[in-house]
Amino acid sequence: MTPEPILITGVARRVGLHLARTFLERDIPVIGTYRSERPALDELAEAGVELHRSDFYDESSLRSLTRAIVERHGSLRALIHNASDWLAEGSELPAGDVMWRMMQVHVSAPYQLNLALEPLLLACAEPHADIIHVGDYVSSRGSSKHIAYAASKAAQDNLTLSFSARLAPKVKVNSIAPALVMFNEDDDEDYRRRARNKSLMQREGGLDEFQHAVDYLLHSSYVTGRVLPMDGGRHLRVA
């Protein structure tokens, strides 16, 4: 039997791209969303990923995405909410716009997708289906420089609680809260050193570690309504 597809939002780079490549290696069909053109999209298309361009800041674009997926698919194995944005206070946008954008991409879009795709998850032929929200360490700690971002990630954690109660026992709903998965190419060595020193493990988690966390949740038949920390013991680090 052909495996049922996994939908990954924000599939064109970093974590989303790694997840897509790994699932493809396992012959698991992947549906991916993206907002901007990226070099890896051609690779994903050639590998058979069903790609949908969707701007989560545009309600009509989001509705078109859900309609297209419902029309093409009768079931989903998993929905992984990886799409994200990262705006700081004091950016060029007014404060209200910063908060709206953070809540839109991290809360409103996952909320709408979860509701619209609920029938497909409930129709999964496997014993259970999964929703995984990709959260952030700051959801439980706050951030003086990214207040709206941290607040939106905390709200996303609450979606995990509510949807796990709504969709149990067929659909498990969890969140992964990483502190540092990987660096950007333009991060200088001083920044990297300071970032690594924030955790007990003194390093970034890495994409493979994140994949292990996803696999754990997908393979578990019991864990739901939980936020899985992936922070290298950062909460125990004394400055």
Active site positions, annotated: 149
Residue 156 burial by Cβ neighbours in a 10 Å radius (0-12, 13-18, 19+): buried
Distances (CA, A) of 131 to 86, 163, 170: 22, 9, 11
Copy the structure tokens of residue 127: 């014993």
Q: CA torsion sign, 220 to 172 to 51 to 42?
A: negative
Angle at which helices 109-116 and 147-167 cross, to 10°: 20
DSSP code string of 142-172: --SS-HHHHHHHHHHHHHHHHHHHHHTTTEE
How far apart are the two ends of the chain, measured CA to CA in Å? 53
User: How many angstroms separate the CA atoms of 164 and 148, rounded?
Assistant: 24
Copy the structure tokens of residue 44: 């994903």
User: How many angstroms separate the CA atoms of 227 and 134, rounded?
Assistant: 9
Note whether 228 and 177 are within 8 A (CB): yes
